[in-house]
A and B are shown apart, each in its own frame.
Chain A
Amino acid sequence: MITVQIEYFAILREHIGKNTEAVDTEEKTAGGLYDELAARYALPHMVHMKVAINDEFAEWDAALTEGDTIVFIPPVAGG
């Protein structure tokens, strides 16, 4: 079990109703963690989502480490 910090933005922040939370998880990867949270909060399924770990883009199969800060990045719409 590890504890990671999650920051939520945009549609995810509104859907979950939090900016951040600490999550205890048995999941080993960023993708596994998203699936766990998607089930917990009935999150929308989004194509073209990305993930960042500790302020850098990461792969979905990237390993999670105790204390990581995770951001799930919904489809962007700048400009």
Chain B
Amino acid sequence: MKRFSFSHEDVSGETIRRLVADEASGAYVAFEGWVRNHNEGQRVLRLEYEAFESLGAKEGERIIREAEQRFGISTVYCVHRLGKLEIGDLAVIVGVSTPHRGEAFEACRYIIDEVKHRVPVWKKEYYVNGDSGWVNCERCSAAAHQHDHGQD
């Protein structure tokens, strides 16, 4: 299994914990991102993740290599879910083991922050009121709508 990967199937924290187990490590830190039932004032029913997988996998691996160089990781895995997810599902997990705890916390934080900013993944939320929207593209959608009207 690659250290950064996308998965169209459920991922369990226990799987990552076992993959990361390492006799040279004295510390294990994991971050799990879960699907929550609200965002920016709207009740969320479910969501869908889509990725530019080929470039995303490369960028994810680059992030992990950066973290290794900075923090001296023993073992690390990061998996990002794709496809349809329900409330409470695991959306992303980062598991890091290191000799001592400080580096594990820092590396885990670094990896999840960089993944969120740099890996080409998009999230479409479906709301209780029947609307849906691509997160971080809300204003874009509004602009497109106005533009359409302008051409009528």
The secondary structure that dominates the A interface is loop
For window 7-50 of chain A, which residues contact chain B by CB distance below 8 Å? 7, 9-11, 13, 15, 42-46, 48, 50
Question: CB of B80 within 8 A of chain A?
Answer: yes
B135 touches A77 (CB 8 A): yes
Q: Mark A64-79, 1 if CB is under 8 A from B, else 0.
A: 0000000101111111
A77 touches B134 (CB 8 A): yes
Q: Which residue of A lies closest to B136 (CB)?
A: A75
Among listed B22-30, B68-76, B98-106, B116-124, interface-contacting one: B116-124
Question: CB of B128 within 8 A of chain A?
Answer: no
Question: CB of B140 within 8 A of chain A?
Answer: yes
A10 touches B137 (CB 8 A): yes
Question: CB of B38 within 8 A of chain A?
Answer: no
B50 touches A78 (CB 8 A): no
Contacts of B120 in A (CB 8 A): 9, 50, 52, 71, 73, 76
In angstroms, Cα B137 to Cα A13, docked, is 13
- Cβ distance A78 to chain B, nearest Cβ, rounded Å: 3
In angstroms, Cα B52 to Cα A73, docked, is 9
Checking A42, A46, A76, A78 against B148 with a beta-carbon cut-off of 8 angstroms, the contacting residue is A42
B137 touches A11 (CB 8 A): yes
A76 touches B55 (CB 8 A): no
Instruction: Give the most central of B115, B119, B135, B140: most A CB within 10 Å.
Output: B140
For the A-B complex with A75-B140, A76-B119, A78-B115 known, give 5 more contacts whose Cβ atoms are closer than 8 Å.
A9-B51, A42-B144, A48-B136, A76-B116, A79-B80
